[in-house]
DNA sequence: AAGCGACACAACCGCTGCTTT
DNA sequence: GAAAGCAGCGGTTGTGTCGCT
């Protein structure tokens, strides 16, 4: 779906310095957003998408230019292992870096170094935000496991079940969903950027615990112990 | 100097999801 | 509820640069 006016009138290709200046001045005056109107009002004969991309990826203040540091590279690798090609999420953990930059860096520098492997399981789907207020839980990976939710149980019971049961990931994730829904979506993860809340990525708190474990040296054999301990000891008390 | 291929990254495209009417 | 408009995401392509022959 593309409705941005007459395409014949829209300019394409590399941006010129004067166009950058025009766009920067416009945004400094009017602020970000309403990209569809930027073209008309700023005098730029560019589509809204093009303006948005140029601003977000190149003109926006506080962008970090230049090569990735070893720390950034390491974080990208670990985050990609965890999240897959969720470039915007990965970039969100790298201050001053854009999703496009991270994606390009991955494709040009890091893919060669990574062992050739296809992502396991179904492809991660784009998140859906609005239905968290619904009764139905959200699934990114396992849409066929709805019936495994321990409905009506509190988090302790569910986690206990998870510890004992075979599908711990599902149970813990569902517990998180319940906690998140009952907390007015105001929880912040220590691993998320400040402007991203749990309701935007309901699995992230859970994934965060896994991220901690995988990234900071806890072995796979301690995965569940570590996850549950993280949730119970560090996060769950805060929510009560 | 010219031709060529590899590389890096900016920009575009198609699609999905959210909001508004 | 449906349709339209818009914003954002990830995949892909286009283009400039560099090094090698």
Q: Where do the domains of chain A lie?
A: 11-61, 66-113
Nucleotides on strand B with an atom closer than 7 A to protein CB?
7-19
Q: First CA to last CA across chain A, in angstroms?
A: 44
- Report the CATH superfamily, name and number, of domain A11-61: Homeodomain-like (1.10.10.60)
Separation of A192 CA and C13 C1' (Å): 32
Which nucleotide across the nucleic acid strands is nearest to A13, CA versus C1'? B11
d(CA A178, CA A85): 27
CB-facing half-sphere around the CA of A116: CA atoms within 13 A: 0
* Candidates 1.10.10.60, 1.10.10.10, 3.60.15.10, 2.40.50.220; CATH matching A66-113: 1.10.10.60
d(CA A175, CA A205): 11
Residues with CB under 7 A from strand C: A 1, 3-4, 13-14, 33-37, 48-49, 52, 85-89, 99-100, 103-104, 107, 126
For each of chain A's 240 residues, which pLDDT tens digit applies? 333 334 346 788 888 888 888 888 888 888 877 887 887 778 788 888 888 888 888 888 878 877 788 888 888 888 888 788 888 888 888 888 888 888 888 888 877 666 544 443 333 344 333 333 332 322 223 333 333 333 333 333 333 433 343 344 444 444 444 544 444 444 444 444 444 444 444 444 444 444 444 443 333 333 434 444 444 444 433 333
Which residues numbered 64-123 in chain A sit less than 7 A from strand B, measured from CB? Answer: 67, 100-101, 103-105, 107-109
């Amino acid at each position: 779906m593309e409705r941005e006016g007459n395409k014949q009138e829209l300019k394409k290709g590399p941006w010129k310095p004067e166009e950058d200046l025009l766009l920067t001045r416009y945004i400094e005056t009017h602020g970000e957003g309403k990209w569809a109107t930027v073209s008309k009002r700023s005098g730029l004969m560019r589509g809204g998408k093009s303006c948005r991309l140029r601003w977000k990826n190149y003109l926006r203040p506080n962008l970090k230019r230049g090569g990735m540091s070893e720390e950034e590279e390491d974080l990208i690798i670990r985050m990609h292992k965890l999240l897959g090609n969720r470039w915007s999420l990965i970039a969100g953990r790298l201050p001053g870096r854009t999703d496009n930059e991270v994606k390009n860096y991955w494709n040009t520098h890091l893919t060669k170094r990574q062992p050739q492997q296809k992502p396991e399981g179904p492809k991660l789907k784009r998140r859906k935000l609005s239905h968290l207020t619904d009764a139905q839980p959200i699934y990114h990976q396992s849409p066929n496991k709805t019936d495994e939710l321990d409905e009506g149980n509190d988090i302790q019971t569910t986690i206990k079940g998870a510890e004992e049961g075979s599908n711990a990931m599902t149970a813990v994730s569902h517990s998180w969903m319940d906690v998140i829904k009952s907390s007015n979506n105001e929880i912040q993860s220590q691993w998320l950027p400040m402007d991203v809340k749990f309701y935007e990525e309901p699995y992230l708190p859970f994934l965060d615990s896994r991220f901690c474990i995988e990234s900071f040296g806890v072995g796979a054999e301690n995965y569940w112990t570590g996850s549950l301990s993280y949730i119970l000891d560090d996060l769950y008390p805060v929510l009560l």
